[in-house]
């Protein structure tokens, strides 16, 4: 039995909910089993299955596109780029992005249902993702006309010089399954604002949302060929390699694991394209003794267990000061015991499944390793019972975690919170930085001097202070060290899709 996870409803009722949702989606206009190339829907007799991870029911047969279709997509994107980048003004692109935003929000429920269908997250969370995904459209609509250059002061007498910013070219986009909408728009909205065209290879677990977003982009008046979607499963390695090597693409933006990021970087060496990589994290969540513990617990719950722990910014290591350690662990455990696992289509569900069997195996390995090295399971610690569904792991808290454990060094990417005890600021900052990745980090304290001291010392791209939620279209998202490079969202996000050109005028 699952320790402390109540409200479990049977897998058969989950299956019925999935079928009901699917039937409704099929009556709408956004459920499409097709690639999008040059504005056209592309199908093939060869398909791959998309599964509902909550029940493992097949929910779509999507064309398994390969290198010939990828080549057509790159050609379509190249043709579109030559006109889109030169004949549209930034204001016109902003208007397109604003219309896309309006259409996405008008279809929020349908898009959220698609996300829940293929990713499994609860519907309310999926709706939140749609709004977050759309926020990048309005943000970059605002940024599009702000691609300012500079007037320079040359060292040569009689020279005048300026810089202009221009779109980098056709962009390859590789996105993961954990945010089927937001990972697409965080990249694509910036690219469109800059005047680029894109070829998107969505994750094979979650292609339906990407296809729906591309359909809405066409409806919003973004010209055919500017946004192409090439779903593939069997040709993943070849498609990935071509996106790296093909010189018609001048940029690649990838979100996913560090290992795949390293492979893509090596494969991109021959084409020397511009790269943005948002890779894995292993976020420390530091709770000092001077905070409101209830607020810190509430933030920890959101930060750790959103998406069932499958987010790259979710807390992986919770460092809690010794004087408040027991209280924090006890209160966190109480909240987690109230979670309800199940189908994302069930309004009572608070937490959905993990995406695939490998994800569950990794959580199991981390829990077993922690227990073998002396950690104590406060709640969870095993797969959820078969009645919940095949891909569920019970939300788990282990106390007494130490730096020798695998969970300290590797990102779990699942619903395991490991709680470490610390005594001093110096010690906890050192431990927090003992990680080869550096994406998100979190600090809870009321001491303003300590906020600045610790924020400066943490080797991370992002620091949340007294909050577990840091993702915001207005703030730069990205990492350091093995978490990659490049920033998404914010004023910096546009620069990733622009090149700076110096224009020097002589003879004056």
Site for ligand NAD in 188-207 (CB under 6 A): 203
Task: Give me the DSSP letters along 13-71.
Answer: HHHHHHHHHHHHHHHSSS---SEEETTEEE--S-EEEEEETTTTEEEEEEE---HHHHH
Among 64, 125, 411, 496, binds ligand NAD (CB under 6 A): 411
- Please give the C-alpha separations between residue 159 and each of 123, 163, 500, 508, in angstroms, as whole numbers: 60, 14, 19, 6
Site mask, ligand NAD, residues 150-189, x = CB under 6 A?
------------------------x-x-x-----------
To ligand NAD, the closest distance from the beta carbon of 411 in angstroms equals 5
Active site residue 278: yes
Cβ distance to ligand NAD smaller for residue 35 or 176? 176
Q: Which residues contact 432 (CB under 8 A, 6 or more apart)?
A: 284, 286, 317, 319, 441, 458
SS3 238: helix
To ligand NAD, the closest distance from the beta carbon of 483 in angstroms equals 8
Site mask, ligand NAD, residues 278-307, x = CB under 6 A?
xxx---------------------------
Site for ligand NAD in 375-394 (CB under 6 A): none
Among 392, 413, 422, 477, binds ligand NAD (CB under 6 A): 413
- Round to whole Å and give the CA distance between 123 and 112: 6
Among 1, 237, 247, 266, binds ligand NAD (CB under 6 A): 237
Tokens standing for residue 52:
């509902």
- Round to whole Å and give the CA distance between 250 and 242: 12
Cβ distance to ligand NAD smaller for residue 253 or 431? 253
To ligand NAD, the closest distance from the beta carbon of 200 in angstroms equals 11
Q: Does 262 bind ligand NAD (CB under 6 A)?
A: no
To ligand NAD, the closest distance from the beta carbon of 237 in angstroms equals 4
Phi, psi of 115 (to 5 degrees): -60, -45
Question: In b/e form, how buried is each residue of 62-81, taking b as 16+ CB within 10 angstroms?
Answer: bbbbbeebbebbbbbbbebb
- CA-nearest of 366, 370, 424, 373 to 393 is 366
Q: Which residues contact 258 (CB under 8 A, 6 or more apart)?
A: 279, 280, 437, 482, 483, 484
Give the Cβ contact number of residue 94 at 10 Å. 22
Q: What is the 3-state secondary structure (H, E, C) of 22-35?
A: HHHHHHCCCCCCCE
Q: Which residues contact 276 (CB under 8 A, 6 or more apart)?
A: 187, 251, 252, 253, 254, 478, 484, 485, 486, 487, 488, 496
Binding segment (CB under 6 A) for ligand NAD, from list 9-17, 129-137, 275-283, 458-466: 275-283
Among 39, 167, 195, 256, binds ligand NAD (CB under 6 A): 256
Containing 150, the helix (H) or strand (E) segment is: none
**Cα of 495 vs its chain's centroid, Å:** 19
To ligand NAD, the closest distance from the beta carbon of 249 in angstroms equals 13
Q: Does 260 bind ligand NAD (CB under 6 A)?
A: yes
To ligand NAD, the closest distance from the beta carbon of 245 in angstroms equals 11
Among 240, 381, 400, 486, binds ligand NAD (CB under 6 A): 240
Q: Does 246 bind ligand NAD (CB under 6 A)?
A: no
**Do residues 471 and 442 make contact, with C-beta atoms less than 8 angstroms apart?**
no
Catalytic residue among 118, 143, 278, 411: 278
Q: Does 259 bind ligand NAD (CB under 6 A)?
A: yes
Site for ligand NAD in 323-342 (CB under 6 A): none
Binding segment (CB under 6 A) for ligand NAD, from list 254-262, 369-377, 423-431, 470-478: 254-262
Binding segment (CB under 6 A) for ligand NAD, from list 95-103, 256-264, 328-336, 376-384: 256-264
Among 157, 358, 456, 507, binds ligand NAD (CB under 6 A): 358
Containing 381, the helix (H) or strand (E) segment is: none
Residue 442 pairs in a beta bridge with 285, 464
Q: Does 236 bind ligand NAD (CB under 6 A)?
A: yes
Size of the site for ligand NAD (CB under 6 A): 20
Cβ distance to ligand NAD smaller for residue 257 or 433? 257
Residue 285 pairs in a beta bridge with 318, 442
Among 85, 88, 107, 255, binds ligand NAD (CB under 6 A): 255
To ligand NAD, the closest distance from the beta carbon of 143 in angstroms equals 22
**Do residues 341 and 8 make contact, with C-beta atoms less than 8 angstroms apart?**
yes
For ligand NAD, the binding residues (CB under 6 A) are 174, 176, 178, 203, 236-237, 240, 255-257, 259-260, 263, 278-280, 312, 358, 411, 413
* Active-site amino acid positions: 278
């Amino acid at each position: 039995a699952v320790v402390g996870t109540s409200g479990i409803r049977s897998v058969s009722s989950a299956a019925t909910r999935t079928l009901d949702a699917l039937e409704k989606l099929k009556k709408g206009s956004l459920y499409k089993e097709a690639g999008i190339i040059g504005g056209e829907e592309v199908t093939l007799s060869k398909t791959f299955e998309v599964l509902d991870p909550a029940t493992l029911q097949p929910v779509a047969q999507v064309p398994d596109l390969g290198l010939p279709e990828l080549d057509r997509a790159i050609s379509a994107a190249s043709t579109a780029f030559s006109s889109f980048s030169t004949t549209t003004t930034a204001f016109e692109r902003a208007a397109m992005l604003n219309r896309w935003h309006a259409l996405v929000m008008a279809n929020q429920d349908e898009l959220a249902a698609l996300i829940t269908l293929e990713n499994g997250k609860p519907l309310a969370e999926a709706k939140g993702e749609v709004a977050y995904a759309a926020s990048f459209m309005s943000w970059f609509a605002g940024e599009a006309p702000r691609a300012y250059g500079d007037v320079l002061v040359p060292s040569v007498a009689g020279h005048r010089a300026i810089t202009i910013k221009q779109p980098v070219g056709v962009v390859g986009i590789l996105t993961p399954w954990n945010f089927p909408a937001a990972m697409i728009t965080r990249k694509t909205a910036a690219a469109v604002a800059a005047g680029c065209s894109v070829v998107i290879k969505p994750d094979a677990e979650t292609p339906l949302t990407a296809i729906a977003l591309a359909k809405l982009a066409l409806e919003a008046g973004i010209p055919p060929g500017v946004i192409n979607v090439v779903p593939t499963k069997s040709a993943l390695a070849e498609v990935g390699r071509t996106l790296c090597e093909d010189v018609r693409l001048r940029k690649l933006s990838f979100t996913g694991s560090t290992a795949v990021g390293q492979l893509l970087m090596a494969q991109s060496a021959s084409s020397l394209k511009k790269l943005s990589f948002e890779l894995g994290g292993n976020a420390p969540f530091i709770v000092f003794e001077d905070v409101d513990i209830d607020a810190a617990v509430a933030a920890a719950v959101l930060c750790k267990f959103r998406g069932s722990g499958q987010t790259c910014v979710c807390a992986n290591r919770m460092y809690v000061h010794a004087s408040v350690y027991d209280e924090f662990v006890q209160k966190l455990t109480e909240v987690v015991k109230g979670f309800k696992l199940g189908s994302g289509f069930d309004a009572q569900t608070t937490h959905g499944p993990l995406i695939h069997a490998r994800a569950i195996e990794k959580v199991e390995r981390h829990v077993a390793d922690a227990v073998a090295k002396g950690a104590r399971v406060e709640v969870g610690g095993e797969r959820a019972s078969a009645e919940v569904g095949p891909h569920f792991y019970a939300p788990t808290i282990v106390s007494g975690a130490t730096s020798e454990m695998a969970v300290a060094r590797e990102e779990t990417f699942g619903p395991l919170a490991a709680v470490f005890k610390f005594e001093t600021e110096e010690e906890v900052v050192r431990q927090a930085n003992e990680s080869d990745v550096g994406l998100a980090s979190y600090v809870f304290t009321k001491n303003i001097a300590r906020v600045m001291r610790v924020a400066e010392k943490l080797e991370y791209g992002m620091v949340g202070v007294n909050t577990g939620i840091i993702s915001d279209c207005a703030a730069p998202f990205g990492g350091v060290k093995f978490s990659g490079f490049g920033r998404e969202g914010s004023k910096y996000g546009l620069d990733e899709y622009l090149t700076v050109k110096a224009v020097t005028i002589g003879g004056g």
